[in-house]
Structure 1
């Protein structure tokens, strides 16, 4: 006969079971590491090193600060029709859907399999027999998330979806900045074309002047050749400016999600063709008023790419925590049942249903290093995500500091070049007067015109660089659109 266990043995087993459960519970209650956006391995200054006089309106709604309705409309169109941005939006939807998939493990998985079977049995000398059977079977499985492993996995998926959404916001901001920069590049290209065309006219006047003087015996044949060579070079510069204008136009059309036909024929809401509206400006505008750059620490919680990098770090933490809990027992609840009957009406009779329920626990003992390998893999990914966040933060600080410092130097350069334009235009008039009266040689006259063209072209370029740098600053500060 089997002896019944004594009460002492039962109490001893109960104590050991409680101790085991307590140890498992303690080992499963580890929490995510406390992280902050400011946890950087580099010393972050309290204020920007390159800060000068940026103490005016904020970086928010920076598009409106240019007070250009055509620019605003171009950006609005691009945010709707740009295909790269549409792809980014689709990635957000995919990430949200993936988060739903990863969250499904928290809930019971129930399946139902109805069926019908028809059988005909032939017997020698006894004819045949037919019978039909209807069946309805169900299966249920549910892993009880005692240790929170599935919840950690779900949290990682949700944070990854948040990171993808931050990527989308960064893509919107980057697209708006590229539209604005290409818009002002097109403005500059148009003005550069006008300057080059005016230079061709001036060189033509000089060529005619030298040709006339040569006819009257007041100039040498070399002077004519030099003047015609200079005219040919001016025409080459005009062709180069026209080519650059069509290149920028097609690039802008691509950003707007249109066929790159090089015309920008779409009509604005005011009824003006975009090509006419874009070329309406006769000078490049000055950058908007100086802005409040804020503090370096504020950038960490405002700029979309930094938010995405930090959120992915938190997702990696949650994924590592979930992987470590694979070492703990998995408690599952399963159930199966159903009914079979020859009459379909009896199939739905609850009294005919047969079912069973089973609760079990699986404790990994040896997996060939699979679990430990997964833990090491996710730990390495946490380290990778942390270092990537550090790199993204440093690059963000560099972009802000660089744009702030460039603003001052570009303004100084623009001021000097503006003065150079005034001086070269004045010297050009004096040189023409002096050549007509025989005071200077043809090379001096041609140099004065080349200097004027170079100064005008350089001044337009630096004015456009000022605008592009201001847009880069808005982009670096994470300004909204």
Structure 2
């Protein structure tokens, strides 16, 4: 009978050990968890851009700022990179995330703290006299959670990925700022060119008015022609005043990017709009995933959320902790150091959540939902970037064609205006014909300046859409 009881006990112990082993295997098998779909990790992209007219795709080049050939713009971009407020804010954000990595890594290491306490107590002796006693103590406390399942490691990895994401966001802001400064610089130059054009137009129509008024006083011209010319002069003055305001606003916007006082003044616009002779290489769609910082940021955010899911999953596993304490005590403070260790303890603990009303499971499902959100945000960023490049490549062709057509239109309109005024002086055409030719010439000149600026703005937007760096890397030094 005793043998059978012992046998049952041995068999029961074996079953318990097997159950514990099975539990440990199940838990260790559940340590790896990810909610990122394989389709997201392996994007199926076309080999080339649809709108790219290059015979063979060439890698997108870096250092696009030099291609704009504007020394003044180089200096403005450098100033903006050093002074822009929003960029400084993102740099501070990166420093915050870096400290978060350090804090997350600290949780994986033992924590050691020292404490000193003292007290004084008064009691009455049998004789009625007061007796004072002092007690002093010092201790060292050690606590350490063993990261058996890797939960703390996942939290540190998530923090590291968020830091990397912050760095990618900083890089994206630097690129966007350089593009904004370049676009604002050429906008200001175009506004100055339009202002000069309007001033010349006002001078021309004023000269025409003088000629008409002189002929009217001599009885050669009709009063209607004089009033029509005066109306044109007044309209030109109004357009000139409006353009001055637009130029001031363009300069103020540019000054704000460089953290200057936005007064709309003190900016020398002594350069012409550059000509873009060659098209820029666009690379391939697959290369875009590595070049664009915003895509890298979205991917890192997704990985960080996935690491957070793994940590939330492992928070439901048992936690192993070690705790130690060593200390000494003395009745006098000056004897505390010499007292030596009078006590020490070392304990190990295992804690497994049994009932929390579904809190840990809910936190895991929240983390899973955050992964799904980050995954969709990543996909949206990728395909928005692809659409942006295709759109800019298409506009590169159409804007160039439009600019070339407007150059031809301007030349014809200028000749037509000169001929119409000469024929009007000979009495061959009415002044309405002159006004129409004058309007077409002015519109063609205005459209040419605006189209040239649109070509530049689209090229800068294409540079930004393709990613990469706006400045060439410094040569390596030995």
TM-score (norm 2): 0.92
Which residue among 261, 267, 270 is the counterpart of 1:280? 270
| Secondary structure at 1:133 match in 2 | strand
CA contact under 8 A between 1:56 and 1:291: conserved in structure 2?
no
| Aligned residue in 2 for 1:28 | 28
| Aligned residue in 2 for 1:193 | 195
| Aligned residue in 2 for 1:145 | 147
Change (3 A) 1:450 1:40: farther
Change (3 A) 1:108 1:66: same
Query: For residues 303 and 339 of structure 2, what CA distance do their matches in structure 1 show?
Result: 49
Which residue among 227, 230, 238 is the counterpart of 2:229? 227
Query: For residues 374 and 425 of structure 2, what CA distance do their matches in structure 1 show?
Result: 72
Which residue among 375, 379, 385 is the counterpart of 1:390? 379
CA contact under 8 A between 2:205 and 2:229: conserved in structure 1?
yes
CA contact under 8 A between 1:134 and 1:343: conserved in structure 2?
yes
| Aligned residue in 1 for 2:130 | 128
| Secondary structure at 1:39 match in 2 | helix
Which residue among 385, 395, 414 is the counterpart of 1:425? 414
1:62-81 correspondence to structure 2 within 5 Å: 62-81=64-83
Change (3 A) 1:182 1:152: same
CA contact under 8 A between 1:210 and 1:224: conserved in structure 2?
yes
Change (3 A) 1:261 1:345: same
Change (3 A) 1:156 1:47: same
Residue 53 (structure 1) shift: 3.4
The farther-off stretch of 386-395 and 36-45 is 36-45
Query: For residues 124 and 433 of structure 2, what CA distance do their matches in structure 1 show?
Result: 118
The farther-off stretch of 403-412 and 141-150 is 141-150
Structure 2 unaligned segments of length 5 or more: list them.
471-478
Change (3 A) 1:288 1:38: farther
CA contact under 8 A between 1:37 and 1:310: conserved in structure 2?
no
**Alignment length, in residue pairs?**
464
Change (3 A) 1:347 1:144: same
Residue 12 (structure 1) shift: 4.4
The farther-off stretch of 319-328 and 344-353 is 344-353
1:257-406 correspondence to structure 2 within 5 Å: 257-264=259-266, 275-276=267-268, 279-281=269-271, 283-287=272-276, 289-349=278-338, 351-406=340-395
Change (3 A) 1:360 1:7: farther
| Secondary structure at 1:118 match in 2 | strand
Residue 363 (structure 1) shift: 1.0
Q: Deviations over 1:326-374 (max 9, x none)?
A: 2211111122342221133542347433121111111111110101101
Residue 113 (structure 1) shift: 1.3
The farther-off stretch of 143-152 and 59-68 is 59-68
| Secondary structure at 2:413 match in 1 | helix
Is the counterpart of residue 13 in structure 1 residue 16 in structure 2? no
Query: For residues 47 and 61 of structure 1, what CA distance do their matches in structure 2 show?
Result: 22
Which residue among 151, 174, 195 is the counterpart of 1:172? 174
Residue 244 (structure 1) shift: 0.7
Q: Deviations over 1:96-126 (max 9, x none)?
A: 1112222221011222111222233345743
CA contact under 8 A between 2:329 and 2:339: conserved in structure 1?
no
Residue 305 (structure 1) shift: 0.3
Query: For residues 56 and 421 of structure 1, what CA distance do their matches in structure 2 show?
Result: 35
CA contact under 8 A between 2:84 and 2:258: conserved in structure 1?
yes
TM-score (norm 1): 0.91
CA contact under 8 A between 1:57 and 1:291: conserved in structure 2?
no
Which residue among 447, 455, 461 is the counterpart of 2:450? 461
Query: For residues 434 and 41 of structure 2, what CA distance do their matches in structure 1 show?
Result: 61
| Secondary structure at 2:235 match in 1 | helix
Query: For residues 169 and 192 of structure 1, what CA distance do their matches in structure 2 show?
Result: 35
Q: Deviations over 1:392-415 (max 9, x none)?
A: 001000110000000000000001
| Secondary structure at 2:260 match in 1 | coil
| Aligned residue in 2 for 1:161 | 163
Change (3 A) 1:350 1:299: farther
The farther-off stretch of 136-145 and 294-303 is 136-145
CA contact under 8 A between 1:134 and 1:341: conserved in structure 2?
yes
1:80-119 correspondence to structure 2 within 5 Å: 80-119=82-121
| Aligned residue in 2 for 1:268 | none
| Secondary structure at 1:111 match in 2 | strand
The farther-off stretch of 32-41 and 213-222 is 32-41
| Aligned residue in 2 for 1:206 | 208
Residue 10 (structure 1) shift: 5.3
